[in-house]
Amino acid sequence: MNGGQFVATNSVTWRLKSVMMLIAVFFILSALGIYFSSLSFLDGLQDINSANQVLNLTNQSLEGLDSSTQNLNKLQGPKNLKDVEFSFHENQRILKMAIEKSISLSKNNPDVENLLKKGMTAVNVYEKSVDQLFTSLPANNEDMRSEILITLQFATDAKELLRKAQINLRNDTDRNFSSIYANRFRPLLVAISLSAVFFLFVITFGFNISNKIAASLRNLRGATDKVSEGNLSYQAPIIENDEFGLLTNTFNEMVLSLREGRATLDSTIERIQALQQITASFSEALTSDEVIEVTAKEGFHAVGASAGGFALITSEGDELETRKFIGYEVETMSHWQSFPISLSTPFSDSVRNRKPIFMNTLDQISETYPHMHFEIKSHGHQAMASVPLMIGEVCLGGLLFCFNHARNFSQSEKDFIIAIARQCAQALHRAKLYDDARTAIQARDEFLSIASHELKTPLTPLKLQLQILAKQYKKGQTDIPPEKFLKIMENSDNQLNRLSRLIEDLLDVSRITAGKLRLNLESIDLKKIIEEVMAQYEHQLKDALLRIEIDAESKVICQVDPMRIEQVIINLLTNALKYAPGKPIKISLKKAGEIAKICIKDQGPGIAPENQERIFKRFERVKATDNVGGLGLGLYISHQIIEAHHGKIYVESTPGNGSNFVIELPVVS
């Protein structure tokens, strides 16, 4: 994989989120700034508004003072005193109201409030002096004028104070205005500069992020293009340790696993093709040697093994016989030519346990088979696979594959090796069936030629005898001596007997094959049967050096068909006469526990161990005795008859030392 576990040390989404959060914070702060600056702005406006109202009111007050003084100047003595006094007081009421309102609106400005209060005091002093004037009006005009002038002086004082208040107010308003202006403008300037810096930062940051995203995407797109073109060895570089890095890393891992998948697929296809090729070759292999050759040439090559062996279980089932060494000098392997199946080796273990064994390393092999360490090492083997050759539940042998490098057998490799072994076992099985069929055909052909010969053999002398007789009668020689006539008759009878025995044997075989061999069972002493045979064949046996030993003290009663047991004994006796002519024959009867044993022993050529089982099969004959006629059916029929009696028939013999045919039958207790 691409450098193992990928660790993302930074995050592009986190950076994008940060930018978004910065923008959000910026907007919240801006909104708060606008709100608070608007508050102070409104306060300032309110102050200006109040100042304007106060200015208006003071203007009204000044105008009131002016009209009051003008009104006072209109005083002409007692004649218009009342009117002037009324207008004066009306004027004073409005004037004072305006000044009071101005005072109440100037609470925030103590200087103006102070001046207005002083102005109010001055107005009150003016009002008081005017009231005094109205109550003690001077008698002459001159005095009244000077009194009015003195009184007007107070009004002027009041005006003076109101004007001062106005000046003060104007100054204040100006100050207020410029402070509002300053308060509005400075935050704006700061906000603009901050925004400029902020946007510069955000733009740079955002540009940087988008550049990196674009580069990562370009990188990924390039990688997908390459992969889609079939380049599965391409690994995209990781530009940043962020989410795109993680994505690239995952993509690379995906490509790697795709590559591994394709490699597995390729090797699977290769194996399937190899298996098809081997199967085809196996189907053409007709003999087990050909099967072994195909396995050695194609099977080992397909598996990639450097050496190995092909072994089959012997007929005894206790040994493995190596039929082929692959990749070894045969001389160096002589001790493995055949070896007990019970031996502790990977090969024999897998065959004995009917299970494949796969070993990846020499260490693994040595751990399980320490006694084989040096031998395996000396051959340079590092891994092994041993598979049994199974046909259903039957094991035929095994295949051993050795490898010169350590390996990790994958499941598909194991399956492949097992499949080759299965194909090989089936091919071996087919070869055996083919071999059996061929042998059966050969035996049948042989049987047909022997049968025709055997059937013809008694007919020729019979025909000859009859022709001689006919010829003599034709010539009118009817005086044939009785001994000669009897001889001819005896010979003809012998030939007819032989012919009818042959036909009887053939009929028995067809009965056995059809499962129609009927037994008429009865409890009978076997001694009686033997004695009857002796009496019946007295004539034929008279020349044989026959010895009969009946060991059984009491009767040997068995539940048998006497005719059939008689047939078996006659068959064995005739065989002894046939294959050991002129030599002594011994018949014995013994009782061993629950078993009765009839033995017919001759001193003929004997039978080799490998043929001792075979001769009881249909049409089977030992080749060495070909000079003696026969169909190879007598022992087969005998075997079938004895088996039908739940008994056993076998031969004990060593070539050159005669044969001892044994019949075992269960006795009736």
Any contact of residue 605 with ligand ADP (CB under 6 A)? yes
Task: Identify which of residues 142 and 610 has a Cβ nearer to ligand ADP in the complex.
Answer: 610
Token pair listed for 393:
């539940």
β-pairing, 585-592 vs 546-550, is: parallel
- Name residue 314's amino acid: T
- Specify the DSSP element, H or E, that contains 361: none
Q: Determine contact, residues 556/599, Cβ cutoff 8 Å.
A: no
Q: Which positions ≥6 away from 344 have C-beta within 8 Å? A: 369, 371
Q: Tell me how far CA of residue 290 lies from CA of 17, 298, 499, in angstroms.
A: 76, 12, 45
Task: Identify which of residues 388 and 647 has a Cβ nearer to ligand ADP in the complex.
Answer: 647
Choosing from 395, 607, 642, 665, the residue that interacts with ligand ADP (CB under 6 A) is 607
Which residue's Cβ has the minimum distance to ligand ADP?
Answer: 630
Any contact of residue 625 with ligand ADP (CB under 6 A)? yes
- Specify the DSSP element, H or E, that contains 625: none
Closest CA to 191 of 45, 37, 42: 37
Any contact of residue 604 with ligand ADP (CB under 6 A)? yes
Any contact of residue 103 with ligand ADP (CB under 6 A)? no
**Burial of 625 from C-beta contacts in 10 A (0-12 / 13-18 / 19+):** middle
Closest distance to ligand ADP from the beta carbon of 584 (Å):
13
Task: Identify which of residues 106 and 575 has a Cβ nearer to ligand ADP in the complex.
Answer: 575
Any contact of residue 390 with ligand ADP (CB under 6 A)? no
Choosing from 162, 421, 431, 576, the residue that interacts with ligand ADP (CB under 6 A) is 576
Any contact of residue 251 with ligand ADP (CB under 6 A)? no
Q: Tell me how far CA of residue 89 lies from CA of 61, 67, 70, in angstroms.
A: 14, 12, 14
Q: What's the CA gap between 174 and 64, in Å, rounded?
A: 26
Task: Identify which of residues 416 and 636 has a Cβ nearer to ligand ADP in the complex.
Answer: 636
Size of the site for ligand ADP (CB under 6 A): 19
Any contact of residue 275 with ligand ADP (CB under 6 A)? no
Q: What's the CA gap between 302 and 275, in Å, rounded?
A: 8
Task: Identify which of residues 164 and 621 has a Cβ nearer to ligand ADP in the complex.
Answer: 621
What is the tally of helices (H) and strands (E) in the chain? 16, 13
Closest distance to ligand ADP from the beta carbon of 395 (Å):
32
Candidates 163-171, 252-260, 266-274, 571-579: pick the segment binding ligand ADP (CB under 6 A): 571-579
Choosing from 659, 663, 664, 667, the residue that interacts with ligand ADP (CB under 6 A) is 659
Task: Identify which of residues 299 and 606 has a Cβ nearer to ligand ADP in the complex.
Answer: 606
Choosing from 300, 636, 642, 667, the residue that interacts with ligand ADP (CB under 6 A) is 636
Any contact of residue 622 with ligand ADP (CB under 6 A)? yes
Choosing from 386, 575, 588, 640, the residue that interacts with ligand ADP (CB under 6 A) is 575
Q: What's the CA gap between 202 and 211, in Å, rounded?
A: 14
Q: Determine contact, residues 16/212, Cβ cutoff 8 Å.
A: no
Closest distance to ligand ADP from the beta carbon of 603 (Å):
10
Closest distance to ligand ADP from the beta carbon of 455 (Å):
13
Task: Identify which of residues 472 and 603 has a Cβ nearer to ligand ADP in the complex.
Answer: 603
Token pair listed for 16:
């994008």
